């Protein structure tokens, strides 16, 4: 078992925050373990909880479409999220849950060693980069830290609700063409 697979096995049986009690399946993430590009969302939704796979509901369909627009397949990249268990009724992640789950994300980044990380939505941006400003100002900008290029953008779920934001995500994803 690779180091990455060991982390995923730990996530599947994790009880470090309250969410283990209500989850059906933890969702460690999936994709190429040597991906050059990684995508980080907020938390599993209902469909993800039922399947144990990341981004497979409506927002996932949009993410797959956005990837295809820039010539990428899901299997080429690595897709995960800040929390690995479904917050009941899709509520916002709580701070202690994010803190409990964050070491897994750090380990995944360390083992996958992506060159680029796309941060999908405010929770992913704040967790990984801290407070770097309002999303409407920073989305689509390349932020370099410790040898990794971060690209903050809106969460695909926001793109489903607001067509204007979908256009912005599409533009931000085009940044991936010039890596």
Which residues 46-105 are close enough to bind ligand SF4 by CB under 6 A? 83-85, 97, 100-101
Q: Label the pairing between strands 148-153 and 143-145.
A: antiparallel
Does 24 engage in binding with ligand SF4 (CB under 6 A)?
no
Which two structure tokens, joined as six digits, stand for 36? 């050059």
Candidate list 4, 17, 35, 158; residue touching ligand SF4; CB under 6 A: 17
Strand ranges in the chain using DSSP code E only, listed in sequence order: 30-31, 37-41, 78-81, 116-120, 143-145, 148-153
Q: What is residue 21's DSSP assignment?
A: G
Nearest-approach distance from CB 91 to ligand SF4, in angstroms? 13
Nearest-approach distance from CB 156 to ligand SF4, in angstroms? 20
Does 151 engage in binding with ligand SF4 (CB under 6 A)?
no
Strand ranges in 6-122 using DSSP code E only, listed in sequence order: 30-31, 37-41, 78-81, 116-120
> Which residue, 59 or 83, has its beta carbon nearer to ligand SF4?
83
What is the contact surface with ligand SF4 in residues (CB under 6 A)? Answer: 11, 14-17, 19-20, 26, 83-85, 97, 100-101
């Amino acid at each position: 078992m690779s180091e990455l697979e060991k982390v995923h096995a730990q996530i599947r049986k994790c009880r470090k925050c309250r969410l283990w009690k209500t989850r059906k399946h933890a969702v460690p993430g999936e994709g190429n373990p040597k991906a050059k590009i990684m995508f980080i969302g907020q938390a599993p939704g209902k469909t993800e909880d039922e399947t144990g796979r990341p981004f497979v509901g409506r927002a996932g369909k949009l993410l797959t479409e956005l990837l295809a627009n820039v010539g990428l397949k899901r299997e080429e990249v690595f897709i995960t999220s800040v929390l690995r268990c479904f917050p009941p009724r899709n509520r916002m992640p709580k701070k202690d849950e994010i803190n409990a789950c964050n070491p897994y994300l750090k380990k995944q980044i360390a083992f996958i060693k992506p060159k680029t990380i796309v941060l999908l939505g405010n929770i992913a941006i704040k967790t990984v980069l801290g407070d770097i400003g309002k999303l409407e100002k920073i989305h689509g900008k390349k932020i370099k830290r410790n040898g990794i290029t971060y690209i903050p953008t809106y969460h695909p779920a926001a793109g489903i609700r607001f067509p204007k934001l979908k256009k912005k995500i599409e533009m931000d994803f085009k940044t991936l063409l010039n890596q």
